[in-house]
Amino acid sequence: MKIKCVIVLFFWSVLGFTQKQFDVFFDFNKDFPNQNSILALNEWIANHKAIEITQLLGFCDSIDTKDYNKHLAERRIANVKILLEKSGLPFSQTLQQVAYGKDFKQAVVQAENRRVTIFYTEIPPKITESELSQKVKNAKAGETIALPNLYFFNNSARVVPKSETVLYDLLCILQENSKLKIEIQGHICCQTVVDVNDVSTARARAVYSYLLRNGIDRKRMKFKGFGVSRPIHKIPERNETEADENRRVEILILEN
């Protein structure tokens, strides 16, 4: 099955009109949230770190005078805002705080009227370009780039699961740049004479095959194994870090 890279674009203009809300409730004639609401608010805050508060609306039940309830609603808003500030959640620069008191359509259940409603928008994650993508984008024909954190099982062409994201990243790069042509080059470590089982070629072929299966034209790719003929560090390596750096797959930029 072919994998298609999907880039999700977020638009603030859309999010601005897609507000969500959360209600904080109060006991009769109290301006600090009741215990159940404090617990619910803390849980909500823990699960909503990437948001921006846009509105705080205060409400009261129908008991007492219009002015008294409006002031009570203002105090409720102020206390909820303090709790939100302590949590570190950001507020919109155009934050609206409106105390309705009891001048709104009341619910039949009075407890539902004693509340502050928090309106918020979700902050989209920043779309960051990978280091590999930046390197490929700026590379010229003839340059060689190592695929970072691409690891294989010992003496094998099978990619370890945690490295599959590197292959996906390379796939996306090729899908997004139709002019890019590469040679996939495999290298190994540790052996002082020759690549006995031709593992370097098998690893380069494994990357090639992954890209081919997922729709990249074979005319845009070549693969080749170099065994231990092009080590970064002298063999035998002095430590595992040097061995890892010798045991690598690179891409040679043919056209970009």
pLDDT digits (tens, 9 = 90+) for 104-152: 999 999 999 999 999 999 887 766 788 999 999 999 999 999 999 898 8
**Could you give the CA distance from residue 172 to residue 163 in angstroms, rounded to a whole number?**
15
**Could you give the CA distance from residue 10 to residue 17 in angstroms, rounded to a whole number?**
13
Ranges of each domain in the chain: 12-122, 131-255
Please check the confidence at residue 14 and state whether its pLDDT lies above 50: no
Q: How far is CA 114 from CA 68, 73, 103, in A?
A: 13, 8, 12
**Could you give the CA distance from residue 35 to residue 32 in angstroms, rounded to a whole number?**
9
**Could you give the CA distance from residue 120 to residue 165 in angstroms, rounded to a whole number?**
33
At which residue do the structure tokens 């796939």 appear? 171
Please check the confidence at residue 192 and state whether its pLDDT lies above 80: no
Do 12-122 and 131-255 share a fold? yes
* Cβ neighbours of residue 31 closer than 8 Å, sequence gap 6 or more: 72, 75, 76, 78, 79
Q: Which of 16-20, 173-177, 202-206 is predicted least confidently?
A: 16-20
Q: How far is CA 15 from CA 7, 18, 102, 123, 231, in A?
A: 17, 5, 30, 8, 51
Q: Which of 26-40, 174-188, 190-204 is predicted least confidently?
A: 190-204
Fold of 12-122: 60s Ribosomal Protein L30; Chain: A; (3.30.1330)
Number of CB atoms found within 10 A of residue 226's CB: 16
What's this model's pTM, rounded to 2 decimal places? 0.55
* 131-255 to CATH, choices 3.30.1330.60, 1.20.120.80, 3.40.1080.10, 3.40.50.150: 3.30.1330.60
Sequence letter at residue 118: I
Q: Tell me, what's the pLDDT at 188?
A: 86
